[in-house]
Structure 1
Amino acid sequence: MIYEVKFEHGEANAFAESALELVAQMGVIMQSDKGLFYGKIIRRIDANVEACFDVLKEVSTEDRKEIKSLEVQSLEAKIKVRELVKAQDLDMKVINVAYNFDKTQLFISFTAENRVDFRVLLKELATTFKTRIELRQIGTRDAAQLLGGIGPCGRPLCCANFMYEFPNVSIKMAKNQNLSLKQSKLNGLCGRLMCCLTYEDKFYQEAQKFFPDFGEAVATEEGHGKVVGLNILKNRVKIRFEEYSKEFDLAEIEVNRG
């Protein structure tokens, strides 16, 4: 059986093979030709994909103690890595540093605006930590997923809790939902469009088929006018009439979806 696995150190998801029946969120120890790793099961994969890891066992109580120790050592390594980066005045931000389970590799995730020449840094890292170093440049969305935080909605970030793949988000989704187009209103902590804009997009696309466009001329029982507002959730449109008085300027009309 093939499973998709999320690594605790932030490395990209991978596929692992196992003869065991595993469930989502189960901690496991895996092996590859590069050493031992720990992570969590995301889901079982029915498609024919190549597995790069073999699941050895479920994480035990002793393994959890070792993982806790590794997390402390990884945090100490992160401090040292940041010191080395600062000493070389490199324009890069170290996001996460983590050892694999048997400390044969040290994974360093970073963000950078421009290309970084870290050849000298790699030599210093290898000398300092005496293990294989893997530098991985990630995007701002990946960084937010690793670091976590509270979104504008007041809840923990979706990407850090239950999303394992980033959806394609566009400004058109905000337009479809009649939201403010100010970037400060639409961007998440990562500085990119919020992933949650995709959640209701399909609903709004389907619903809009029954609604007139902004500015469209329409005829109602009260008279002719133009559409100046939409409220898809309440199934109503706001009309400004061509001939109106101060007492009868605007009206909200229910949309007939039949």
Structure 2
Amino acid sequence: MTKVIGVRFKANGKSYYFSPGDLELQQGDYVIVETARGTECGEVAKGPHDVPDSSIVKPLKTVTRMADAVDVRRMQQNRADEKRAFSVCEERIAKHKLDMKLVDVEYTLDRNKILFYFTADGRIDFRDLVKDLAGVFRTRIELRQIGVRDESKMLGGLGICGQPFCCSRFLRDFQPVSIKMAKEQGLSLNPAKISGSCGRLMCCLAYEQPAYEYLNRITPGVGSIVKTPEGVGAVVETNVISGTLRVRMDPPATGFKTFHKDECQYLRGGKRAPIAPDPEPEEITE
């Protein structure tokens, strides 16, 4: 376990782990940290707490120092200036007739650099745009092309489940997502129903997949022959989340009945043979 604090750089933004070092920090404090973008001032979203080593992206950086009133005012001024920089950049993009969409703008704390994030279908020659922006802002300009998933992560929003986007809320890295995962989870293969707002397959398919793989292994598949409390039958439908099986009884005249998988004994057949659960430890008596 490692002691960390959660620091966020934008209101309702994602928190990042940093080591508090020897500083006594609590939620609501402002700190100065070094990031991939440069020196940043952020708010402590969660005070010191322990997290598993596996959840930390190494190397874990240490908080440089507590932020003072000057740092906080400068950060707030930067946030206000970012809105103006966004409008100016959009005007320059239209002027140069570039096929790109501006997503976000960030000032570093020391204002030595402005980062412009954009999306585009292909490669963009933005050299003239950079020169134009450098003449306006008189500082170092950096343009970064990002993907549509990164755009959703930065902007945030609500998913079809009604919850804030997983990518902007707690997912630290994007994982590969395949249509096979949707099939194994019994979802409709309609792209509109299994795609997020970014147009890509929903991230939740990936981190829910291990649970479905386990449940599919311990649940008799469609076509399995099982012994139920009311006789032998064939499984015609399964719900691995609730653990229920819809069984066509033998003889067929008996009809269809629903049982919990714990009530049924797997006999043979099916798309996949279930694994037996771990045996209960034997009680030792003297």
Name structure 2 gaps, 5 residues minimum: 263-275, 278-286
- Deviation of residue 190 (structure 1)? 1.5
The 1-side partners of 2:222 and 2:74 are apart by 61
* Pair 1:71 & 2:79 matched: yes
The residue correspondences of 1:1-258 to structure 2 (distance < 5 A) are 8=10, 20=23, 27-30=30-33, 36-39=39-42, 49=58, 55-218=63-226, 225-241=233-249, 244-245=252-253, 248-256=254-262
* Cα distance change on mapping 1:162 and 1:2 into 2, 3 Å: closer
The 2-side partners of 1:180 and 1:103 are apart by 49
Name structure 1 gaps, 5 residues minimum: none
The 2-side partners of 1:34 and 1:177 are apart by 39
Deviates more, 1:58-67 or 1:213-222: 213-222
Aligned amino acid, residue 254 of structure 1: H
- Deviation of residue 7 (structure 1)? 5.2
Two-structure CA RMSD over aligned residues (Å) = 3.7
Q: Percent identity?
A: 36
The 1-side partners of 2:204 and 2:37 are apart by 37
Query: How many residues align structurally?
Result: 254
Aligned amino acid, residue 38 of structure 1: C
Q: Structure 1 length as normaliser, TM-score?
A: 0.79
SS at 1:95's partner residue?
A: strand
- Deviation of residue 155 (structure 1)? 1.8
The 2-side partners of 1:241 and 1:35 are apart by 67
Q: Structure 2 length as normaliser, TM-score?
A: 0.72
Aligned amino acid, residue 261 of structure 2: V
Aligned amino acid, residue 252 of structure 1: T
The 2-side partners of 1:125 and 1:14 are apart by 33
Contact 2:118 2:143 in 1 (8 A): yes
* Cα distance change on mapping 1:163 and 1:49 into 2, 3 Å: closer
